[in-house]
Chains A and B, each alone.
Chain A
Amino acid sequence: MAQITLKNLGKMFPPDVVAVADVNLTIGDGEFFVLLGPSGCGKSTTLRMIAGLEEATSGDILVDGRRVNDDDPADRDLAIVFQNYALYPHMTVAENLAFGLKLRKVAPTEITSRTAATSRMLGIEPLLKRKPRELSGGQQQRVALGRALVRQPKAFLFDEPLSNLDAKLRATMRTELIKLHQSLGATIVHVTHDQVEAMTMGQRICIMKDGHVVQVGPPMEVYRNPADTFVAGFLASPPMNLLDARVVDHAGGLAVALGEARLAVPGAFNGAYGAWRDRDVVFGIRPEDMHDGAGPGGRTPLDVRVVAVEALGPEVVLVAALADGREIHARLGPGFVAPIGSQQRLHLDLGAMHLFDRETRKAIAQRGTG
């Protein structure tokens, strides 16, 4: 298995479209690394540059410390699983699996044994004689995975391989890919726009926007401490509530002014947020940090008007409006009921609050010297 390093990697499409700019990443040996971002953020282009299917216009790509920018895709010894599987339509499943090995002049007996082992592992043995068009989406996906596995490459590159599957199958394949990673200990770079995939599968995730890396880290770390409002608003569904606010003096400490409401900032943050007194910020709080009960104490009340109540089974998503009409989402227990238009009091756990610079949209450190 291999370590992949990207140094100042950039890709420009003529005449002047910057697809990827100055990406610096080190993907560890055996790591499951996820590139996450919305459409057009440059994640797939980054992956294709690693694969060698796109030429990097600047920067270096290193596999195990060796620069591979000028190597043919085949010489990089990486395998890619494409979004739409890219199986050879005129070949049977067995031929699809064996094609890469034949080209690499692997001995026929070795090809047979590797194909058999791979198809057994993925449960596609009964399909070996079928053509891709005779397979379901899920089966094609397995064959595409098998084609990558059978080559025993240094690392696997997954380009949104689950996005064409239905929700149920996607969940199953997610688990299977995690298991596969654990059993092989392979280096995997997985591209997705699905934040659930990223959160559940990645050991580390890299969030990209407009060709730039915004934040890299373990999923929960990124979830808890988003680097900016983009990351905060991208992860989870419903995402973090982001509201324009102002830091003001309040009862000897600080508070976040949300219209008429004043939310007292926990004392522990006063030092860090002190420098932001009387300045415009973006206040962020996750839906699950708002409750319908006061709880054991320490929660801050906020009066809202019920706009919609979305019962999802295990939880209820409350869409509510502040006094000035701005909407927020709260994730409440399954027992919550309230008539539309009624006034409710939510209780905010402000220990989990975030503040962002209104201009730069970057997170303001919660604990600092400020």
Chain B
Amino acid sequence: MLFPLGFAVFTSLFDYTLVHPNHDTFVGFDKYVEAWNADYLPDALWTTVKFVVASVVIEFVIGFSVALALNRVTRFKNVYYIILLAPLLMNPVVVAQLWRMILHSELGIMNYVLGMIGIGKINFLGDPVAAFWTVVLVDIWHQVSFMAILLLAGLAALPREPYEAARMDGASAVQTFVHITLPLMRPVIAVALLLRLIFAIKTFDIVFIMTKGGPGTATDLISYFIYRSAFFGLDVGRASAMSVALLLIVLALTIYLYRYMKSLA
């Protein structure tokens, strides 16, 4: 684990390109400055921010709703769990391939079904706006179970007594949710959001398989942008610099998450 990490940090300090793949030219932090000023970096960052916010927020809303519903279910709980876990068990590459076929503008079953009910064809992966939301929705399809299961575990572990006390105090369902469930779930919600945030920032596979960052830069998430810098821009040094910077951001979030969880213990 340490070798690739060390190699990336080391490489980020050299003018290492695929044209001249060697560590001859030490450039210090020049590659970091270069990376910061790279064309389209603001685009990639902005796309990543939009993607992370959209997917995590929607996953949270759907995941929490599903968790609340499942928490009340008493029969066939295991069946629901299996259904819920199925997407999570699938490899992201498989998920992306699957959806790429389903959403293919000409051959995909989705447009066929839409056509049958009188809705025109949608160019899911060819239109910039549609492509962005397609990537977001596929990520949600794949990851929402994670959110739901984490929140469901939190809900199941909540003490029953405050709810009974609230019933005696005359709290409605909405008041109970706002005044009891949400505050009691705060630590679990924070952990679930942070974990998904960290994973979402690193999203690569879906974009790589489905859109290659396109059309244009519509789905050019930071991970894919770094990949392009290395293997299309051939500038491994700059890509390494960006990777290290991304790693530091994720590391900072992880430390924050760890400290937060420790403060709860």
Chain B contacts for A53, CB-based, 8 A: 164, 167-168
Q: List 6 A-B contacts (CB under 8 A).
A: A73-B168, A74-B170, A75-B170, A85-B161, A87-B165, A103-B171
Contact A90 B169 (CB under 8 A): no
- Per the CB 8 Å criterion, the residue count for chain A at the interface is 25
Chain A nearest CB from B168 CB (Å) reads 5
The verdict on A103 contacting B162 (CB below 8 Å), with A89-B184, A90-B183, A90-B184 known, is: no
A322 to chain B, nearest CB (A): 49
For A90, the closest partner residue in chain B by CB is B183
Name the distance in Å between A181's Cβ and chain B's nearest Cβ. Answer: 20
Contacts A86-B161, A87-B165, A91-B183 known; list 15 others, CB within 8 Å. A52-B167, A53-B164, A73-B168, A74-B168, A79-B168, A82-B165, A84-B161, A87-B162, A88-B179, A89-B162, A89-B184, A99-B166, A99-B179, A103-B175, A104-B170
Decide yes or no whether A231 CB sits under 8 A from chain B: no
10 nearest interchain CB pairs?
A74-B170, A86-B161, A100-B169, A90-B183, A86-B165, A103-B170, A73-B167, A73-B168, A88-B162, A80-B168
Measured between C-beta atoms, what is the minimum distance from A118 to chain B in Å? 15
Rounded to whole angstroms, the CA-CA distance of A82 and B165 in the bound complex is: 8
B188 at the A interface (CB under 8 A): no
Provide the bound-state CA to CA distance between A53 and B159, in Å. Answer: 15
Contacts of B9 in A (CB 8 A): none
**A155 in the interface (beta carbon within 8 A):** no
Does B49 count as interface, using CB distance less than 8 angstroms?
no
Q: Give the distance in Å from the alpha carbon of A73 to the alpha carbon of B164 in the complex.
A: 9
**Does B180 make an interface contact (CB < 8 A)?**
yes
**Chain B residue with the shortest CB-CB distance to A84:** B161
Evaluate contact between B183 and A86: CB separation under 8 angstroms.
no
Interface residue ranges of B147-188 to A (CB < 8 Å): 159, 161-162, 164-171, 175, 179-180, 183-184, 186
- Chain A 87-112, CB-CB to B under 8 Å as 1, else 0, gives 11111000000011001100000000
Cα-based distance from A103 to B166 in the complex (angstroms)? 9
Chain A residues positioned under 8 Å from B186 (CB to CB):
90
Which residues of the other chain, B, contact A84 by a CB distance below 8 angstroms? 161
* Range of interface residues on B (Cβ < 8 Å): 10 to 19
**Which one of B159, B162, B170, B180 lies within 8 Å of A100 (CB-CB)?**
B170
Contact residue among A52, A78, A86 (Cβ-Cβ distance under 8 Å from B162):
A86
Please indicate the chain B residues that have their CB under 8 angstroms from the CB of A80 in the complex. Answer: 164-165, 168
Rounded to whole angstroms, the CA-CA distance of A100 and B166 in the bound complex is: 8
- Inter-chain CA distance A72–B184, complex, in Å, is 24
CB nearest neighbor in B for A48:
B164
Does A51 count as interface, using CB distance less than 8 angstroms?
Answer: yes
Q: For chains A and B in complex, what number of residue pairs have CB atoms within 8 angstroms?
A: 59
**Chain B residues whose CB sits within 8 angstroms of the CB of A87 once the complex forms:** 162, 165
Once the chains are docked, how many angstroms separate the CA of A210 from the CA of B79?
37
Chain B residues with CB under 8 A of A82? 161, 164-165
Closest to B186 in A: A90
A147 to chain B, nearest CB (A): 8
Contact status B168-A103, CB under 8 Å: no
User: How far apart are the CA atoms of A356 and B167 in the complex, in Å?
Assistant: 45
Query: From residue 118 to 168 of chain B, which have CB atoms closer than 8 A to chain A?
Result: 159, 161-162, 164-168
Closest B residue to A85 by beta carbon equals B161
Q: Which residue of B lies closest to A83 (CB)?
A: B161
Tell me, in angstroms, the Cα distance from A52 to B166 when the chains sit together: 12
* B179: chain A residues within 8 A (beta carbon): 88, 99
Q: Which residues of B contact A74 (CB under 8 A)?
A: 167-171
Question: How far, in angstroms, from A82 to B161 measured CA to CA in the complex?
Answer: 8
Interface residues of B in 68-100 (CB under 8 A from A): none
What residues of A have a CB within 8 angstroms of the CB of B166 in the complex?
88, 99
CB of A222 to closest CB in B, whole Å: 30
Can you list, as one digit per residue, whether each of A26-69 has a CB less than 8 Å from chain B (1) or not (0)?
Answer: 00000000000000000000000001110000000000000000
* A193 vs chain B, min Cβ distance (A): 19
Bound Cα distance from A147 to B165, whole angstroms: 10
Residue of A nearest to B175 (CB): A103
Q: Name the A residues within 8 Å of B162 (CB-CB).
A: 86-89
Q: How far is the CA of A135 from the CA of B58 in the complex (A)?
A: 39
B165 and A88 contact, CB distance less than 8 A: yes
Decide if B175 touches A88 in the complex (CB within 8 Å): no
Q: In the docked arrangement, what's the CA distance between A87 and B161, Å?
A: 8
Closest to B160 in A: A86
Instruction: Report how far A147 CA is from B162 CA in the complex, Å.
Output: 12
The complex places the Cα of A279 from the Cα of B3 at a distance, in Å, of 92
Residues of B within 8 A of A100 (CB): 168-170
Inside 8 A of A86's CB, which chain B residues have their CB?
A: 159, 161-162, 164-165
A47–chain B nearest beta-carbon distance, Å: 12
CA A74 to CA B167, docked complex, whole Å: 6
In the complex, what residue of chain B is closest to A132 when comparing beta carbons?
A: B162
Interface string of A141-160 (1 = CB under 8 A from B): 00000010001000000000
State the CA gap A86–B164 with chains docked (Å): 8
Cα–Cα, bound, A89→B187 (Å): 13
Type the 1/0 row for A218-234, where 1 means its CB is closer than 8 Å to any CB of B: 00000000000000000
The reply to whether B180 and A88 contact each other, CB–CB distance below 8 Å, is yes
Question: Which partner residue on chain B sits nearest A144 by CB separation?
Answer: B165
Kindly provide the distance from the CB of A78 to the nearest chain B CB, expressed in whole angstroms.
8
Contacts of B171 in A (CB 8 A): 74, 103
Q: Measured between C-beta atoms, what is the minimum distance from A14 to chain B in Å?
A: 11
State A90–B166 Cα separation when bound (angstroms): 13
> In the assembled complex, which residues on chain B have CB atoms less than 8 Å from the CB atom of A52?
167-168
List of A residues within 8 angstroms of B164 by Cβ:
53, 80, 82, 86
What separation, in Å, do the CA atoms of A90 and B164 have in the docked complex? 16
Q: How far is the CB of A190 from chain B (nearest CB, A)?
A: 16
Minimum Cβ distance to chain A for residue B20 (Å): 60
